[in-house]
Amino acid sequence: MSVMKIKKLKKQMNEGFALLFSDLDGFELALELLKSKTPVKAKAGQVAPEDIIVEAGPTNLPPGPAISELGAVGLQVQIEKGKITIKEPKTIVKKGETISQAAAEVMAKLDIKPFQIGFVPLAIFDNKEKKLYLNIELNVEKTIGELKKEYGKALAFAVEIEYVTKESIGFLLAKAEAHARAIEKISKEKRNESGEKTEEQPNESGSPEQTSELNPKEEKK
């Protein structure tokens, strides 16, 4: 690794970092690290990473002090079959807001775990390719969605330029059939138009027949 790359990698190292060495591909290892994160409960004073929503439905909480605790964060509840039921979904903490003690206690009672602990990939050095990757961001669902979107664009483009692949051939055949039907329709319309016109018939001399009226004052000679 060059000195320049070492300096760039050093900037990524803050408190609580670790160096991992593996025969796996760097991004494959990073994905495994993200999958191994463990959900944890929230604590008062933490900042919500996303909107924290309490869904409607039954809980395992018996009637008692929990009713007022849930009500303190704006939840509407009722008692059903000896348990507390939340009547309507509600966002108790918005993304970026500080979690209050009351909200943290409610989340603990409802077993809501909005945080995760584990290793976060910061940088990857590929010893085989001698490349350094910084600011690692792996989002499988987002990536798959983008690939599907781009695939749709590529397929439409292939059909437009008539590029034949196993994916585009069906669309190209359908396009060709539609064009053939359109051409056949135009051809029929032109034949019908030409059939409606009357052509002048030639006489024996080969010139079109002409009719004229004699002037009554003129005499035949």
Q: Is residue 206 part of a domain?
A: no
Question: In this structure, are strands 52-54 and 90-93 parallel, antiparallel, or unpaired?
Answer: antiparallel
Q: Same structural domain for residues 122 and 96? A: no
Q: Is residue 73 part of a domain?
A: yes
Taking the C-alpha atoms of residue 95 and residue 114, their distance in angstroms, rounded to an integer, is 11
Q: Is residue 200 part of a domain?
A: no
Helix (H), strand (E) at residue 93: strand 90-93
For residue range 31-86, list pLDDT tens digits in order. 888 888 899 999 999 999 999 999 999 999 998 899 999 999 999 999 998 999 99
For residue range 132-167, list pLDDT tens digits in order. 888 777 777 888 888 888 888 888 888 889 899 888
Q: Is residue 214 part of a domain?
A: no
Q: Same structural domain for residues 9 and 44? A: no
Structure tokens at 215: 């002037």
Task: For residue 107, give the nearest of 80, 83, 72, 81 by alpha carbon.
Answer: 72
CA angle 202, 206, 212 (to 5 degrees): 60
Q: Is residue 220 part of a domain?
A: no
Structure tokens at 208: 């079109």
Q: Is residue 188 part of a domain?
A: yes
Taking the C-alpha atoms of residue 124 and residue 132, their distance in angstroms, rounded to an integer, is 6
Q: Same structural domain for residues 52 and 97? A: yes
Sign of the alpha-carbon torsion through 107, 109, 111, 113: positive
| Contact between 99 and 46 (Cβ < 8 Å) | yes
Residues 6+ apart with CB under 8 A from 27: 124, 133, 136, 138
Q: Is residue 210 part of a domain?
A: no
> How confident is the model over 97-125, as a mean pLDDT?
89
pLDDT for 96 beyond 90: yes
- Residue 40 has a pLDDT of 92
Q: Where does 167-208 have alpha helices with state H?
A: 169-196
Q: Same structural domain for residues 129 and 28? A: yes
Q: Same structural domain for residues 107 and 122? A: no
Q: Same structural domain for residues 98 and 55? A: yes
| Contact between 113 and 43 (Cβ < 8 Å) | no
Q: What is the DSSP letter of 118?
A: S
pLDDT for 194 beyond 90: no
Any idea what the CATH number is for the domain that residue 76 is in? 3.90.105.20
Query: pTM of the prediction?
Result: 0.50
Helix (H), strand (E) at residue 32: helix 26-35
Q: Is residue 81 part of a domain?
A: yes
Q: Same structural domain for residues 44 and 101? A: yes
Domain range for 127 is 3-37+118-137
